[in-house]
Amino acid sequence: MLLATQYLGLSLKNPLIASAAPLNAQLDHLRALEDAGAAAVVLPSLFQEQIEAEAAIHEHIMNSAAHNSPEASTYFPQTASGPYGVGPDAYLDLIHRARAAVAIPVIASLNGSSEAGWIEYAKMMQQAGAHAIELNMYFIPIDIELTGQNIEDRYVGILAAARRAVSIPLALKVSPQVSAFGNLAQRLHANGADGLVLFNRLLQPDIDLATLRLTQGVHLSTRAEMPLSLSWIALLAGRCGASLAASTGVEEADDVIKYLLAGADVVMTTSALLRHGAGHLTGLLNGLETWMEARQFASVSDLRGLMSWSRSRHKEFYGRPSYMKMLETGVTG
C-alpha cells in the first residue's frame, strides 16, 4: 500500500504531520513522533515579538556601549524567550538539533502579523537547515477601519517579503476570517506560497461570570471543529495550485480519511497528540491503512480529493441548495 505523499514539493512517507506545538521543541518527543510514523514535524513558532524584542536588546546594548553606560542595560531583559522559552538564537539551534535527531523533514514556524524586518529571520531558519517554513499569520483586525482588502494585502505583503528571503518551500497558516478565502488562496499561491495550512485556531477571550474578568486559555480542539477546514479543503482541492494541509479537529483515523477524501495533501494534528501521546499517530496510520485495504485503495493518491468540490457529482452539497435542504430535513445529533 502506497502512503507516499508530496507536500510543498517535499517527498513524505505518508500524509501525517505533527503540527506546531510546544512539545515539538523537545528532541525526545520529536524522536517519539518519528518512531510513531510522523512523516514530518512542525516546530513550535518563533514569534515576531520575540525577534523584535531581541533586536531591541541588541540595539540597546550597542547604544549603551557607544555611550559607555553599561549599567543602563539592566533596564532591559537579556533574552526574548517567548511563550515556549526558546528565543531567536536558541530557535536556530533547535532547528540544527532537530535535524540531527530525526530523519523526517523539519518545518520551522515563524509567527507574526505585519510586514517588517523580523521576516528576514526566515533566511536564518533556512541556513540553520529547516526543510521548509510555515509562516503563521495570526492577525486579529481589531481596528474596524481596516477593509478586507487591507487585510488580504497585509497577508500578501508578509508572504512576498518571506518569499524574497528564502528559497526553501513556504507554507502559510491562515485564518478563515477573510471575506473571500478562495480568492485569497489563489493570490497567496501566485505570490509564492507553496502550501496553505487550513486553519489557524484563533484563541479568543471568554468571560468569567463569577469574577467578571476576561479569561483566556488554550483549549484542545474537538472533532466538532473540523467542518470549516474540511469544507475549505474540499472547495480548494485541485483549484488553487498550492499544497493543502488540513489542520484542526483530527481525533481518529476516520478524520484523517475524511480530510484526504476532501483533497488534503497532508493532515496535521496537535490536540490528539497532546491528549493521547505521540504513539497515537501509529493508530491514525494503521486506521488509514485498514480503511484503504477494506476499500481496495492501493495508494493515498487514489482516494485524495474524491469528495472534493471539483470532483463531486453533488456540488450542491457545498452550496446554498443544501442549506435549504438541511433546514427542511431537520436537526441531526
Ligand X SMILES: Cc1cc2nc3c(=O)[nH]c(=O)nc-3n(C[C@H](O)[C@H](O)[C@H](O)COP(=O)(O)O)c2cc1C
Query: Using the rule CB under 6 A, is 14 a contact of ligand X?
Result: no
H helix or E strand, kind and range, residue 45:
strand 40-47
Q: Smallest gap, in angstroms, from Cβ of residue 42 to ligand X?
A: 7
Task: Considering the complex, state which of residue 168 and residue 284 has its C-beta at the smaller distance from ligand X.
Answer: 284
Q: Smallest gap, in angstroms, from Cβ of residue 176 to ligand X?
A: 12
Q: Which of 84, 80, 62 has its CA nearest to residue 72?
A: 62
Query: Using the rule CB under 6 A, is 136 a contact of ligand X?
Result: yes
Q: Smallest gap, in angstroms, from Cβ of residue 306 to ligand X?
A: 23
Query: Using the rule CB under 6 A, is 106 a contact of ligand X?
Result: no
Query: Using the rule CB under 6 A, is 48 a contact of ligand X?
Result: no
- Round to whole Å and give the CA distance between 51 and 217: 24
Query: Using the rule CB under 6 A, is 126 a contact of ligand X?
Result: no
Query: Widest CA span of the chain, in angstroms?
Result: 77
Number of residues that bind ligand X (CB under 6 A): 21
Q: Within 13 A of 44's CA, how many CA atoms are on the CB side?
A: 20
Binding mask 59-98 for ligand X (x = CB under 6 A): ----------------------------------------
Using the 8-state DSSP alphabet, how is residue 224 labeled?
A: G
Q: Which of 250, 261, 288, 292 binds ligand X (CB under 6 A)?
A: 250
Task: Render the burial of 109-147: b for 16+ CB within 10 Å, e for the rest.
Answer: bbbbbebeebbebbbbbbebbbbbbbbbbbbebeeeeee
Count CB neighbours of 205 within 10 A.
10
Residue indicated by cell numbers 481518529 = 252
- From the list 143-151, 213-221, 281-289, 296-304, the region that binds ligand X by CB under 6 A is 213-221
- Round to whole Å and give the CA distance between 206 and 215: 5
216: left (phi over 0), alpha (psi -120 to 50) or beta: beta
Query: Using the rule CB under 6 A, is 218 a contact of ligand X?
Result: yes
Query: Using the rule CB under 6 A, is 19 a contact of ligand X?
Result: yes
Q: Smallest gap, in angstroms, from Cβ of residue 330 to ligand X?
A: 29
Q: Which of 14, 48, 109, 243 binds ligand X (CB under 6 A)?
A: 109
Task: Considering the complex, state which of residue 176 and residue 312 has its C-beta at the smaller distance from ligand X.
Answer: 176
Query: Using the rule CB under 6 A, is 173 a contact of ligand X?
Result: yes
Q: Which of 126, 243, 271, 308 binds ligand X (CB under 6 A)?
A: 271
- Round to whole Å and give the CA distance between 259 and 36: 20
Cβ–Cβ under 8 Å, residues 264 and 238 = no
Query: Using the rule CB under 6 A, is 22 a contact of ligand X?
Result: yes
Judged by the rule CB under 6 A, the positions of this chain that interact with ligand X are 19-22, 44-45, 109, 111, 136, 173, 201, 218, 220-221, 247-250, 269-271
